Amino acid sequence: MFPARYAREMPHRYRLEAHKCKQCGKVFVPRREICDKCGATEFEVIRLSDRVKLVTYTIIHTPASQFKDQSPYALGICEFPEGVRLTAQVVDIDFADLKTGMDLQVEFRRIQTDGHEGILSYGYKFVPVI
Amino acid sequence: MEGIVGYGAHIPRHRIKVEEIAKVWGADAPSYKRGLQLREKSVPPPDVDTITLSVEAAKRALKRAGVDGAQLGAVYIGSESHPYAVKPSGTVVAEALGAVPDCHCADYEFACKAGSEAMFVAMGLVKAGYIDYGLAIGGDTSQGAPSDALEYSASAGAAAFIMGRENLVAEIEYSNSYMTDTPDFWRREHEFYPQHAGRYTGEPAYFKHVTGAAKALLKKAGAEPGDFQYCVFHQPNGKFPMRAAKMLGFTKEQNLTGWLAPTLGNTYSGASPIGLTAILDVAKPGDRIFMVSYGSGSGSDGFIWKCADRLAEVQNLVATTRTLLDERLTYVDYGTYAKYRRKILKNY
């Protein structure tokens, strides 16, 4: 991943920062300039909770090249209490134990490695609650 | 008064048993288990490294401290497995915790005592009044060469401590350091795995420095082993810390709570710091804890902590160290372990 793009995404990938519309309260990740619900342009920065519900998931057997060594892996869409849904890997769990509606928590993990010489990219994954 | 305001640990859920490693190399598992007093060790999956362990441990520490990341004046990480050769681990951790930009940040290295170094310096800055809160982390995804004795112990984990002056969970009473130039364990640049000097790592290295630091600390404090409810020492295996405790006059009972090596392995810079978190999880206000780290090369840092009333309020705010160590474990075979630890050469 290009370092400049990676750095731009740090607020939401590292800290789960979201933008909450000051007018209607809709929450966005990543940030937006205009609220698609009410058209307002002013937002406050909030941090999402670290507990989520698994909405749906799939098992990836044929991944993109940078994730080849991790396959097969589970990819889930999870809903945060703030109403936002995010997609990330679900790890540290047997596939047979995955259930839609189950509680998961967010954990900071290495997402990808840019070959032997490039930067290491970090962000969030979902794991069972402990 | 200065001390620990919040603390936390993080340990990967994956484990490998001594028998699984011994099977591959034709070694005698019972003799390793008996000799090193190890049963299994934690294994970091490929998406876990010193940075991710540090972030998760620090999040628990911040929650127990009731402190926001932005209040941290310093972020220090001690490790011998920083993911980058050039680029700090601390900047990633500080960014993830929201501690940037008004924060002093450094990565420490001193073999297995890099974590206690971070604690020593963060505490010093708090005492000097330079910062209100300092985050000190000891963590590693330790390396051990295939078939080497180290492979049975080298594991992964981290502990984090928020040092401050108010709302303490444990006050620092005394600290000291003890070091000499002792070539017992090293890793040259560009080498994957550390080398060690076999039996020389024992008496002239580990035991000399751990007991040397401990005796000096006891003298400084005017204390005796019986004055403490708990002790914790660096634990490269299960055997060494038990023997060091006995040599110094501590009992097995004082040492048991922080003695995690038999099922955790050697988390290098995280070893005695994680042991301290396990003690803080169960200690009572007024209890005194005697801690001595060890880092090859060689040196030891010693601390005497006295638990404060607030400790009881924060112990169960997040997962305890024993929970992380004992629950929801996934056991892996040697092939999976070799893949996770990048021991398989893909020559294509």
pLDDT in tens, B257-293: 999 999 999 999 999 999 999 999 999 999 999 999 9
Q: What is the structure's pLDDT at B192?
A: 87
pLDDT digit string, tens, across residues B311-345: 999 999 999 999 999 999 999 999 999 999 999 98
pLDDT digit string, tens, across residues B168-213: 999 999 999 999 999 999 999 888 899 999 899 999 999 999 999 9
Q: Among residues of chain A, what percentage have pLDDT more than 70?
A: 99
Q: What angle do CA B169, B48, B60 make, to 5 degrees?
A: 20
**Distances from the Cα of B14 to the Cα of A71, B48, B157, B329, angstroms:** 17, 11, 11, 6
Q: Tell me the residue type at A19.
A: H
Q: What is the structure's pLDDT at A17?
A: 96
Closest-approach residue (CA) in chain B for A47: B98
A64–chain B Cβ distance below 8 A for any pair = no
Checking if the pLDDT of B13 tops 70, the result is yes
- How crowded is residue B309: how many other Cβ atoms within 10 Å of its Cβ? 11
Q: What is the structure's pLDDT at B318?
A: 98
A110–chain B Cβ distance below 8 A for any pair = yes
**Which structural domain, as residue segments, surrounds residue A84?**
3-128
pLDDT digit string, tens, across residues B152-173: 999 999 999 999 999 999 999 9
Q: What is the structure's pLDDT at B206?
A: 97
Min Cα distance A116 → chain B (Å) is 11
Chain B positions contacting chain A at CB under 8 Å are 13, 45-49, 51-52, 55-56, 59, 83-84, 92, 95-98, 319, 323-324, 327-328, 330, 339
List chain B residues with CB under 8 Å of A89: 47
List chain B residues with CB under 8 Å of A92: 13, 45, 328, 330
Q: What is the structure's pLDDT at A103?
A: 98
Tell me the catalytic residues of B.
80, 112, 234
Q: Give the pLDDT band (50/70/90) at residue A115.
A: confident
**Whole-angstrom Cα distance, residue B9 to residue B14?**
15
When scoring A51, A109, A113, A126 by the number of chain B Cβ atoms within 10 A, the one with the most, hence best to mutate, is: A109
> Which residue from B20, B69, B13, B73 is spatially nearest to B44, judged by alpha carbons?
B13
Q: Give the pLDDT band (50/70/90) at residue B347.
A: confident
Across all residues in chain B, what is the average pLDDT? 97
**Whole-angstrom Cα distance, residue B125 to residue B31?**
46
Phi–psi pair at B307, nearest 5 degrees: -70, 140
Provide mean pLDDT across the span B233-256: 98
Checking if the pLDDT of A120 tops 90, the result is yes
Provide mean pLDDT across the span B83-97: 97
Give me the residue from B55, B97, B328 closest to A128, CB to CB: B328
A103–chain B Cβ distance below 8 A for any pair = no
Checking if the pLDDT of B221 tops 80, the result is yes
Closest-approach residue (CA) in chain B for A124: B52
Q: Tell me the residue type at A92.
A: D
Q: What is the structure's pLDDT at B217?
A: 98
**Domain count along chain A:** 1
pLDDT digit string, tens, across residues A37-96: 999 999 999 999 999 999 999 999 999 988 988 999 999 999 999 999 999 999 999 999
Checking if the pLDDT of B61 tops 90, the result is yes
Mark out the alpha helices in B281-326 (DSSP H runs).
311-314, 321-326
Q: What is the structure's pLDDT at B345?
A: 86
Q: What's the CATH number where A85 sits? A: 2.40.50.840
Domains and CATH numbers, chain B: 3-169+312-340 (3.40.47.10), 172-309 (3.40.47.10)
Q: Give the pLDDT band (50/70/90) at residue B348.
A: low
Checking if the pLDDT of A1 tops 90, the result is no
pLDDT digit string, tens, across residues B106-156: 999 999 999 999 999 999 999 999 999 999 999 999 989 999 999 999 999
